[in-house]
Structures are given as structure tokens and as C-alpha cells.
Structure 1
Amino acid sequence: MNNKQADILWFKDIHFTDTNLVGGKGANLGEMYNLGIPVPNGFCVTANAYFKFIEFNNLKPKIKAILDITDFDQPDQLEATSKKIRQIINKSPIPRDIAQNIMKSYKRLSDWGGLRNVAVAVRTSATAEDSADASFAGQGDTFLNVTGESNVINRVRDCWSSLFTSRSLFYQVKKKYDHFKIGVAVPVQKLVRSDSSGICFTVNPVTNDKKEIIVETVWGLGEYIVQGKVTPDQHIINKTDWTVKTYNKASQDIQLVRAASETKEVSVPKSKQDSSKITDQMAIKIAKIGQKLHNHYAKPQDIEFAIEKGKLYIVQTRPITTVESNKITLDNQKANINQIPDLKGDPASPGTSSGKVVIINNPKYLNKAQKGQILVTEMTTPDFVPAMKKVNGIITDRGGQTSHAAIVSRELGVPCVVGTKTATKLFKDGDLVTLNGTTGEIWKGDLTGSISNQPKIEKVDPHLKNRNWPLKFPKEMSTVSDYFGPNL
């Protein structure tokens, strides 16, 4: 059997050109593995297996009947449709030959690790991830710390069903994709017991400086860096001489770690709370691998890494696609404010704006946010996106340049400052403030009189979806289109 017919492919047999078989995530893992990048070993259950599963259970007419009576602009209907379809898929048996191949591959991976049941990450990799707009990147489910043959098989099926999450269904309809031509591959990869983890950008994601590489790191698993639940350490590496240009250390008192039930939050030992997560030498090592991937793909990269007992692993790479929108915003930012700021944080999304403060720390109160205000919050989640689309600017207490607030703000063209620590305490509802998302500075009052307003870049970027965040539609949203924007 050749690769194009295979149900299982090991990373060593996968290349970037295999996106139709293993999706964008799987193709990048195989490409990096064969480049000699330190990628934890694993295999992909290919899209062939998914299509065979659908045909074996005659699921297409059952799913089509449900989709045909769904109004995709109504969140309640969309959620109900997603739930029905996923239940049907998750109750359907996997063909015996495919299940046996998955079990054999998992056992082989465990044997290589010298373990009876190696812990793995099971991720979704849709074959539409390589499309022009990459709208499927990261929309599927991810399961960490999965052990045992039966659990791996069940999680593979869960990944298959995640093609039909409400979020994914909405995009398929709006992009006019055929639901039954999109395949789902599932990378199964040895899980890294991360002492620390992080994200590397091979250009500065705020200033677009091509001579800088940003490396942000937290204790434990990497989910908290994306959620903005903790503020990461940040190294800025100068590409011209491979030195640390800037280092900002952040205290961290909680971390996400592996547990019997996948993951749990624990306290960081006091002796480590104010310690550096990685050395300068490790930051430079990460940056050099990042540049190697940047050169290989000929595009700026957003790279996820994990470190276990001093050993570095790269677990994902994807292109940065906000470079052009950042350039438009930076070009329009024609003046700086020559006044000492009242508060300073980390620059997260370029541009200068002002407005009245609205403080929201719970998504239940998103209806407080009005057009033209400045959203001030401890941190944002995907539930905050409707409010983030309305406001003139965003300020958070926690998070770094790779947090949800930062990524979504860049994506929407909204100026943002993160990691201020005290914004929710310093300001109150109705205060007039000005923020500069390029410098991380914040002032009381409106100081934008001499500065042109920044246009919002109404564009949906795959980075908005690529961390597998949970998605809920707020009850006050009248249609799903309100959530994602009219241009979809």
C-alpha cells in the first residue's frame, strides 16, 4: 500500500506536500521531523481512515439530513446540530482494521519510549488547513496526556467528530466548503512532560521588526501562555548577532501540569516563582531553530515549544499572517505622545486610540461594552471576541504578546496593551484613557487629538483559531454573523 492509500503514516513518512492526507498540522510535524528539528515522535491517522469510517457507518445521509434543516445564522440551532452530529459520530464503531492499526501504532510508539502505555497528545488536523485562508487551522479538538489503546482510539473518534463543532460548521457554510469533502487526520504524538513551554515568533509580532525574534516562556504546559492566565518571561533576540536584546522576567504563581484526568492547575513552588524559566542560551537556541523554520518555509513562523529536563522539543509551527495588517496600522500611526505614561504594559497590537473605560472581567457582562470604548480586563477568552470587535482598544492585567488578547487584537486591528498588572484597579468605568499598543504606554485622558484614527483591519486570521480554545456563543448575540463579522 502506498502512502496515498495508508490509514496510518509515521512522521518520518510525511512531508509538507501531504496536506491532503494529514492536514496542515500533520504535514508540518512530518516536515519538521524530516528536517531534523527536535519533534517528539508520532504518527498520523490519515484522512483516509476518517472517510472509511464515515462510509462504513453510512453517516453521510444522516448528517446531511440534520444539516439540511439547520439555520446556520442561529446560534441555538447551530449548537443543537453540532451536538446531534457529534453524538452520532461518537456512538459509531470504528472499522476493525483501522482500530487495530491505531492500537498497533500506539503500542509501537510506547515500545520506543520503553513504556507500556506512553502518554500522548491527540490532535485534530483538518485537510482544509492548507486552503488559502487557512480557516480550519486549530478549530478541532486536542486531548493531552492520553494513555492506553482504547482511550487513544476513542480520542481519535472525538477528533473526527470535532469537524462538526458549531464553530467549524459555521466556517464551512460561510466559505462554501463541502462538508463531506473535508477530511480529518489525527496526529498522535508522544507528550512532552513540560517543565516549561512557550511560543516563538520569528519576527516581532507588534512592530514587524524582521531583525527580532520573540521567545515567551511559562512554567508548565503552554495553554496558560495562550489563555493569558499568566504573564510569560520574554526574550527578544537580535538576529544580526544572536544576542539577547531585551529580557523581561515575570513572576508566576500557578501553572498547568499533567494529571490523572489529563491536566490540572497547581501552584508554582515558591523557590521558582521569581526564577527565570529558561536561560539566555536556551532562548537563543530556540530562536535559531525558529529562524531555520522561517527560512525553510520562506515565511515568518509562530512556533510552539516545550522543554523537559533541559531538552527542547518543537511541537508545532504555523505561518504568522498578521504581518501585512500590522504594516497598515503602523504606517497610519503618524505620531507619538511625548508625555510620561500613567501605566506601562507590554505592547501587543499596534496603533493608538482613546476612549472611555469599560471594565469587564466576566463574559456574562459583555453587553456593557459599547462602540468606541476601551475594554479593560484581567484577561480575555474567546467569549470576549464580540466585545473586542466593538471597542477602540484593549488593556489587560495579565498575558504577553502571544496571549489570546494579543493575537485577537492584532487580528482585528485593535490597539492592545497586555500585562499591566494593575489596570483593572487603577481605572474605573467611564475614565477617559489613551493607549499606544506599539509602545505599551497608557495615559489618563484623551491625547489623540494630533493622531489620526487607526482603521480596524476586519479580517479573520487562523491564529484566532489555532490554540483549540473552547467556543461559546454569548446569549445576547442575535446571530452567529455578529460573532465573526459581516465579511465572512
Structure 2
Amino acid sequence: MSSKETRFVLWLEEIRKEDTPIVGGKNANLGEMIAAGIPVPPGFAVTAYAFKYFLDKTGLGQKIYEMLKNLDINNTKELEETTRRIREMILAQPMPPEVEEEIKRYYFELAKRLNINPANLRVAVRSSATAEDLPEASFAGQQDTYLNVYGAEKVIEHVKKCWASLFTARATFYRAVHGIPHERTYMSVTVQKMVNSKAAGVMFTLHPVTGDENVIVIEGSWGLGEATVSGKVTPDQFVVERGSFKIIERKINQKTYMVVFDPAYGGNIHLKADEAKGTWVSEEGVEPTIPLVKVARPGAPALTDDEVRRLAELGEAIYRHYGRHMDIEWAIDFDMPFPDNVFIVQARPETYWSVKRAKETTKAEFIAAIGKKTVRLAEARALAKGLPASPGVAAGVARVILNPKSPEAMEFKQGDILITKMTDPDWVPLMKKAAAIVTDEGGMTSHAAIVSRELGIPCIVGTGNATKVIPYGVEVTVDASRGIVYEGIVEDLVKPKVEITTPGVTAAVGISPEQLLPLYPVTSTKIYMNLGEPDAIDK
């Protein structure tokens, strides 16, 4: 093994894409971007080898794998209880001194490099899972991230929390279902200087809904990126022309929620705008002391035009480095001057290019629908409007659900329309049953939008009030190509197009595998796909 493979910690600048098996895709991409000259906050990676060493040295690995060996993953109570006990075992077990001391040494060195008192150095601690011999296995959204962690002891604590998150019920179930052995799955951890975010968000190097490769789409909101990615706020959206970097579209939304770090509180606080008083009120009940609350206004742009153009330039540089379209997370530092305040904190391959026709219902679905009360498009009443996030049309019974574990959720049937405030990974089982999804909050890069595109489900986000204006149990038609929810079954939209054939013209026929083989010979090259919702691979 090379020296990298037996080290507990690596600086991000030491890492390249070929190191994915030992540091996970997240860390490998950060190292690649640093090498390409992209402004990435400095930091280091606790390797997967450190995690494996911890399990072996403490004897926890053998105990954990024995507990999982005979686990019935379909028994929800047993799954939850077993994985909870495993996480508790990891958190209660001290790290081997040699691993703990190495992590602390790098943390102190990072503080020295930045000329910051180690007790005040705030870092993000992020999971970067990988699987031995399966470096491209997707574990998106299954493990934990912790922001604004400071102090060496807290870093050690949160590294262990990331390790423990490898054994959540959801992650354990996923590995079992997909035949990935638990003992071959490891956890690397990113420890990276926090950006004191004035604003943060997501950028695509193409339009994530239309697939237009001539534009770069940027979404962002005030404070930390958590508000945008989780869908708790409808972010501002900027569409930038590739090449000229001219802003050709902008949509400034009412951003009434933000997450920020408050030094006086000693942690993150969640703020909601009191628009009547023109102030921000924390859910924690504390008075915010940070300067950002005086600058951030719900209806004001979270980014300047210069910051938008600088992000687009970096997005283009990342696209050219990887030679593929990318999904990028960014942050703007409140304390630094432009352009030094613009940082890229994560990049991954863009998982869906939707240059496709809107998904049409099948003839059988239409026949089933036509038996119900239908309306013409010209007569249909629009119940809600929002942002088209995943194109297509679907009709069905609207189910307004606010909790994925509620009694209403248990009654949700295949083909129903899911109406909710927002989604996160806990909603995925319901999302897979839904004919379409409509949310009150979120943008084109929210969880609901990304997973819907991967699953091929029509989706509208950011309606603002769908859960309040769409009655539970009413039949609706969701036109996610235009962002409109209609009352009733709209015949014009759900009716399948009729194939027209011309007499005397022979229809095109498919090419058989035997004919294809000489054109595209079998090779030993494996093809992998990065998906936010891994089960979508079957589609």
C-alpha cells in the first residue's frame, strides 16, 4: 500500500480523484478543485483507513458486524433499535490515542496556517463515505454534516458522530438492499474551515430543468446553505449566459428564513423574518448579535451582480476541469472583500440532464382517468402555481401530508399526488409512490426537485401555499412543465398523443443486439452513475 493508504489524515491539497477509495468522493473533488486553482476553504480529510483502524483496534468492528449479521432489515423496530445501539457504541468508545492525536495535530496546524486561535477556529465536519472496491457507490444524503464546530475536542466528538452516522437505519437498510457488505463500507470525514456565510447556495453548469447548456443557473439565500438545500426557503435565482457571463434572468424571492452562526450564542441559530417590525427573530429565543441581520432583508438580493458573475466564472472553470456538467455548492464570506469572498465548498457531477419531452401518461392511465370527471384546459381552475422543477404531467388524488410518518402518510397510495411543505430523505418512500410532487417551499436545487428529476416524477416547488389551498382528497392535474396545479382531471393535458402514420411509409424498427454488437463491442470498462437517489438507477 502507498503511504496515503495508511495515513490517518491528509491535507485536502494532497488529495486527487484517484484517492476516492480512501477519502470518498467529497474529499477527492475538493482536492481536485484546489489543484485546479478553484478557491476552496482550507482543511484536511480524516481517511477511511482511520475509521477502519478505529473499528479494528477497539474491537468494535467485530461486534457491530455480528449485530448486523442476523438483522431483519424489514423489521422496522428491530432495525431502528439495533442501529441506535451501534451508534451509541461508537460514540461511547474513545478513539485510539494515535488517531485522536493526529487529528488534533492537523487541526492545530490548520489554525496556525490561518493565524487563528485554535479555540476559535470554526470548521465544517462532513461525512464522505466510500466503499472498498466500490469507490463510486452513492451514499448521498445518508450521513451527517456538522457546521460551525470549534475547538479540538469538539472536532474529535463530531468526527465520531460522522462515523456513527454510517449506521443510521436508512444507511444500513440501503446497503443491505443493494448487497453492499457493511464490513466493506467505510467513512472518511472532511474537516474544513467554515466560511462566515453572508449567503450560500447551489449552482448548476447547465439549466437543471430544461437542460439548456448555454446557461449557468445559480440559486442562493441569506446565511448558511442549509436553508436552500433543505428547501426551507425559496432562494433567489440567477440565470447567467455561458461565455459572456451576462445575467439574463433573475428572480428575487422573499427569503424569510436563514441559518447563521452567532458567536454570542456559541452555535447556529435559526432566524425567521418579522416583516412587520423589520427584524429577525430566532427560534432559539436569543437576540441575534451578528452584523448580517442588519444587512439581510427578505426581499433584497442575497448576491451582488459581481458575485453572481464571479460564481459563474468559477462554475465554468470547474466544468472545463472535469469535462462534464457539475452541481456545485458555494458560499460568500461576510468578512472578506470581493472577489476573495467567493468560495466553492463542494462539487459533484450533475445527476440529471432533462433535455427530454415531458413525461406523458400511458393510454391505460388515460382510460382510467377519463372514467372520472374531466375538464377542458380552457375551463380548468388553477389551484396553485410554482416553479417547474421536474417536467411532466400527472393526474391523481391530492394528499396533503406534513409528516412522512403521520397516519395520512401510511394511507398514501401508488399514483397519489403528494402535496407537502418540503421534503428530505425521510420522504423518499412516499416520493417513489407519488405520481407527482408539489411543495410550498424550495427551489430547483432543493431535495424535492433533485430526487423528482432522478425518479422521473413531475414536480413543482416553491408554490408558497399549496398545502393550504389544495384540499385533501380532491382530484388534481399537475402540469410540472408550466408550474401549475389544476383542479380536476384536465383532459387536454393527460390525453396521450396519437401516433400518425402515413400509408406506404414503413415505420422505423429497433436495432437488435446482434446488429448493435459490431458497432458497440463489449469492453471491460465499467460504467458508474452518481445519483442523489440511488434506487433511480433502475430507470
- TM-score, scaled to structure 1: 0.87
Question: Which residue is equivalent to 1:306?
Answer: 331
Whole-angstrom CA distance in 2 between matches of 1:119 and 1:86: 25
Amino acid at match of 1:58: G
Amino acid at match of 2:468: K
Question: Which residue is equivalent to 2:188?
Answer: 185
Amino acid at match of 1:203: L
Q: Residues 329 and 54 of structure 1: is their aligned pair in 2 closer, same or farther, counting only changes over 3 Å?
A: farther
Q: Could you tell me which of 263, 270, 284 is aligned with 2:268?
A: 263
For residue 109 of structure 2, give the secondary structure of its aligned residue in structure 1.
helix
Residues 1:290 and 2:315 aligned together: yes
Once the two structures are overlaid, the 10-residue window that deviates more, 35-44 or 260-269, is 260-269
Structure 2, unaligned runs of 5 or more: 280-295, 363-375, 498-528
Question: Which residue is equivalent to 1:220?
Answer: 223
Per-residue CA distance 1:167-215 (angstroms, 9 max, x = gap): 2212222222222222221111001111110000111111111112210
Question: Which residue is equivalent to 2:532?
Answer: 463
Q: How many residue pairs are counted as aligned between the two chains?
A: 462
Q: Residues 486 and 77 of structure 1: is their aligned pair in 2 closer, same or farther, counting only changes over 3 Å?
A: farther
Q: Any residues of structure 2 matched to 1:23-42 within 5 Å, and which?
A: 23-42=24-43
Amino acid at match of 1:24: G
Amino acid at match of 2:227: Y
Mapped contact 1:24–1:137 kept (Cα < 8 A): no
Task: Tell me the percent identity.
Answer: 39
Question: Which residue is equivalent to 1:77?
Answer: 78
Q: Computing the radius of gyration over CA atoms, which structure comes out larger, 1 or 2? A: 2
Question: Which residue is equivalent to 1:156?
Answer: 159
Question: Which residue is equivalent to 1:44?
Answer: 45
Amino acid at match of 1:166: A
Amino acid at match of 2:333: E
Q: Residues 61 and 171 of structure 1: is their aligned pair in 2 closer, same or farther, counting only changes over 3 Å?
A: same
Question: Which residue is equivalent to 2:432?
Answer: 389
Whole-angstrom CA distance in 2 between matches of 1:206 and 1:447: 23
Question: Which residue is equivalent to 1:424?
Answer: 467
Q: Residues 206 and 485 of structure 1: is their aligned pair in 2 closer, same or farther, counting only changes over 3 Å?
A: closer
Q: Residues 485 and 282 of structure 1: is their aligned pair in 2 closer, same or farther, counting only changes over 3 Å?
A: closer
- Report the CA distance between 1:46 and its aligned residue: 1.1
Question: Which residue is equivalent to 2:59?
Answer: 58
Q: Any residues of structure 2 matched to 1:60-459 within 5 Å, and which?
A: 60-116=61-117, 117=119, 118-128=121-131, 131=134, 134-259=137-262, 260=265, 262-268=267-273, 270=279, 272-309=297-334, 310=338, 311-323=341-353, 326-327=354-355, 330=358, 342=382, 343-363=384-404, 364=406, 365-449=408-492, 451=494
Question: Which residue is equivalent to 1:473?
Answer: none
Whole-angstrom CA distance in 2 between matches of 1:129 and 1:238: 41
For residue 299 of structure 1, give the secondary structure of its aligned residue in structure 2.
coil
- Report the CA distance between 1:284 and its aligned residue: 2.1
Q: Residues 206 and 3 of structure 1: is their aligned pair in 2 closer, same or farther, counting only changes over 3 Å?
A: same
Once the two structures are overlaid, the 10-residue window that deviates more, 375-384 or 92-101, is 375-384
- Report the CA distance between 1:295 and its aligned residue: 2.1
Amino acid at match of 2:174: Y
Whole-angstrom CA distance in 1 between matches of 2:420 and 2:76: 26
Whole-angstrom CA distance in 1 between matches of 2:175 and 2:426: 21
Mapped contact 1:129–1:137 kept (Cα < 8 A): no
- Report the CA distance between 1:132 and its aligned residue: 7.4
Whole-angstrom CA distance in 1 between matches of 2:27 and 2:331: 18
Question: Which residue is equivalent to 2:292?
Answer: none
Q: Residues 21 and 453 of structure 1: is their aligned pair in 2 closer, same or farther, counting only changes over 3 Å?
A: farther
- Report the CA distance between 1:267 and its aligned residue: 3.3
Whole-angstrom CA distance in 2 between matches of 1:377 and 1:254: 18
Whole-angstrom CA distance in 2 between matches of 1:151 and 1:254: 27
- Report the CA distance between 1:485 and its aligned residue: 9.1
Amino acid at match of 2:309: I
For residue 462 of structure 1, give the secondary structure of its aligned residue in structure 2.
coil
Per-residue CA distance 1:254-288 (angstroms, 9 max, x = gap): 21111445322023565612111102232222122
Once the two structures are overlaid, the 10-residue window that deviates more, 141-150 or 87-96, is 87-96
Question: Which residue is equivalent to 2:370?
Answer: none
Mapped contact 1:24–1:130 kept (Cα < 8 A): no
Whole-angstrom CA distance in 1 between matches of 2:469 and 2:180: 47
Per-residue CA distance 1:359-390 (angstroms, 9 max, x = gap): 22233131343333322222223333232222
Whole-angstrom CA distance in 1 between matches of 2:216 and 2:91: 42
For residue 255 of structure 1, give the secondary structure of its aligned residue in structure 2.
strand
Amino acid at match of 1:170: F
- Report the CA distance between 1:464 and its aligned residue: 3.9
For residue 357 of structure 1, give the secondary structure of its aligned residue in structure 2.
strand
Whole-angstrom CA distance in 2 between matches of 1:88 and 1:35: 41
Q: Residues 486 and 106 of structure 1: is their aligned pair in 2 closer, same or farther, counting only changes over 3 Å?
A: closer
Mapped contact 2:222–2:258 kept (Cα < 8 A): yes
- Report the CA distance between 1:340 and its aligned residue: 8.8
- Report the CA distance between 1:224 and its aligned residue: 1.2
Whole-angstrom CA distance in 2 between matches of 1:485 and 1:5: 35
- Report the CA distance between 1:330 and its aligned residue: 3.5
Whole-angstrom CA distance in 2 between matches of 1:5 and 1:318: 26
Structure 1, unaligned runs of 5 or more: 455-459, 466-483
- Report the CA distance between 1:444 and its aligned residue: 2.7
Amino acid at match of 1:393: A
Once the two structures are overlaid, the 10-residue window that deviates more, 172-181 or 308-317, is 172-181
- Report the CA distance between 1:339 and its aligned residue: 8.2
Q: Residues 390 and 291 of structure 1: is their aligned pair in 2 closer, same or farther, counting only changes over 3 Å?
A: same
For residue 51 of structure 1, give the secondary structure of its aligned residue in structure 2.
helix
Per-residue CA distance 1:423-464 (angstroms, 9 max, x = gap): 23332123332222122133333224454569xxxxx97324
Whole-angstrom CA distance in 2 between matches of 1:75 and 1:313: 41
- Report the CA distance between 1:393 and its aligned residue: 1.4
Mapped contact 2:199–2:302 kept (Cα < 8 A): yes
